[in-house]
Amino acid sequence: MEIRRIAGALGAEVLGVDLSRDFSAEGIRRAFLEHQVIFFRDQALDPAQFMAFARTMGKPVEYPFVKGIAGFPEVIEVKKLEHERHAFGGIWHSDTAYLDEPPMGSMLLAREIPPYGGDTLFASQYLAYEALSGEMKKLLSGLKGVNSSSKADVTRTREDMVKEYARSYEAEHPVVRTHPETGRKALYVNFGHTVRFAGMTDEESAPLLEFLFRHQIKPEFTCRFSWRVGSLAFWDNRCAQHNPVNDYHGHRRVMHRITLAGDRPR
């Protein structure tokens, strides 16, 4: 197994691994924790094999707004069709931060890709936090963010998937969280879900949140991944954000995703 970094901030390709056969789960887990998002190429996995790999990394859980594929409730289809203009989850975010226990990680496997475009951007929230001034770190250390599933319509970009769901989720989490495995601190607000600081109004919260939203996705904190059929990405929602680039109108993109259970941010 070879690990090849793709950017200075985060992200690495894992080479020489067939996830349908024997592999070093320990080595993959180390790479995941070190690089925040890891990528595999040419993985011809059926849903059962995809689930089997996911179980070696964590506990697959159902996504709250989208039904799973037939026979695999924890595997959801993320797709944009030829006639659609909006991409599912098409803004910067960390998955389902509006849950009391947001996911540890997410996996995305490419089934169909457009002839061009459709890349995904990732941003290191370790680096975003570490680049802040000492006084800003002090200010943020006592704050909690209120995260809502209804904020930015991440889950409503495909109406046919979500129209039967009326429930809204909301949760408060520390603005700066400590990663439970690495011990590093990461910024934990995101444009997709964070609406205000606990104990403050939306208006009072807006200036600081707007600064943080701009700051945490600076180019020097990011990497970019170009998909091929059979490509698989595995990212750490506790310290990384992602944003699928919606630049392939008129073409079809179909992915399978698995979400892994996490714990309450601290």
Enumerate the active-site residues: 93, 95, 242, 257
8 Å CB contact between 123 and 8:
no
8 Å CB contact between 216 and 85:
no
DSSP-based three-state secondary structure for 47: helix
Identity of residue 138: K
Within its chain, how far is the Cα of 223 from the centroid? 13
Query: Phi first, then psi: what are they for 11, rounded to 5°?
Result: 100, 130
DSSP-based three-state secondary structure for 84: coil
8 Å CB contact between 107 and 234:
yes
Q: Point out which residues pair with 194 in neighbouring strands.
A: 147
**Exposed/middle/buried for residue 259 (C-beta within 10 Å: 0-12, 13-18, 19+):** buried
